[in-house]
Structure 1
């Protein structure tokens, strides 16, 4: 920053002497300093503090320390800080707001009190550090925190309105949040009480853990029909799904999970499978029995049909020995061919049965 005008014309050594003098340091350091009596009347104030207050130096003696505070802070000073200074020699880092000609600014107030021989307060020396930007930053952080808490509350409210068990897990698979349906089903209040796979029915546990670990390593969606053991005496079937949520860096930030009770549908499905299996077994048995009957019938009928046909073929063979006219010989060959074809067809049908 440029040198004050009062230093113009001085040589280097004199300038350094002035810059390091007590009066200069008191007035020009980037911290406000003020001294005032117990009644608040100002004794001395440095230039830095005056510039923040946008107040000329000649008006200082007319002001009272409480009068440069905002109304709320003046009340707080009277009710809290002033009694403290009467009881102890100092107060530190108290946030106060000071009035200016155009508005106000926030600052941290540090003070040391001095008492006389009778123990009565006679002087307060204080430093004031302007924290406008810090206050703004703190307000932004507070707003962001409130926004996150509001979003969290909305998510919890929404998750408790759906008929599913809703839960989230960290990238390494540890449960972070469970909705009210999970708490009611397992009679717990904290995700840590659930113990991960401890809620899975023993017969399904090994395959479930193996599938879940694979999804954690690969980032693939988890989806599996699993039996869960809640407070009831018997396990129930659930369709459990978990989808990874990726942040802007492409890393898994959390797993969003849902468990849907499908016990009635699954039980009906298993019952249908059992009934179907029993029906198929009965059908196979019936078919086998009917096949044996058909084979017996086919064999008997084949024998009955082929007996007269065999007689015909025998007679044809005998007639071959007799002399015939050309016309009779031609008809005889047709008869022999037809009888042979019929015999072959009957054999094939019998073999297929």
Structure 2
């Protein structure tokens, strides 16, 4: 079995036994593992005001991870562009590219990644009446090019570049889970990442729409796609299932409107079982996940890549931890990558 490329998406989860510093240290170790194993890229997400997620600032995390690795591409999965001024993001990622040339990806999304109050604060109280996402995405790409962009202001040309003497630019990707993102990625000639891990019902239709409507660009002459999946791999199916107990319960709480609290350890989840209906709902959320032995998960990932015609599969390792696990480590997530790499990389 063979997948063209495998990559990693990391939300930098926080367990009940971890501080923020511990969670970041565990992600640094996970990124080093992915680097050593030959994974193509390692991306971190953007979420705000969530006790279970430490990935609040992708460019800061990318800098930390890039300094700790040697080869793997680092990036955002993604920066939620409506939360930020495009020039700020362009400057941040242009500097990262200058420091780590040909290793930086800028994945961009449209969702808020937070609750309404936090989103309001992130946007400095702005109440945008017009959706400018498509235009902001174009401007972001132009400002990061080595030549920058020329603005017309008051009849005069004004040069603007994200950094003064760039030689290369980060690769821009569009993230999404809907037909809107498929259409926009195709129209702008961008590589496209579909969030199959939470929008699985539309995956095939969206990827087919993107591929059929794709307009080539200088940076992306052909349609290029990644599908994101949740995965937990262990020596046995039973072990893999146990390691996802905390994540299943977290997703049930999130979908039922509760606070996304730090992820429970396996023993904590087992000691406080959910009511039967809630447990069934939690298990239903996990139906599209890849949980099991190395052979079964590798077969599932390979079949998914073939079905969707994706160039790459990005794995979000969701395995939890047992009581007594070092707080600054996530050995079960690392093992997911190791076992999967033996089969596919």
Question: Does 1 or 2 have the higher relative contact order (CA < 8 Å, sep 6+)?
Answer: 2
Report TM bin, short chain: under 0.3
Q: Which has the higher helix share?
A: 1
Given the two structures, how large is their TM-score scaled by the length of structure 2? 0.18
Structure-1-length-normalised TM-score: 0.18
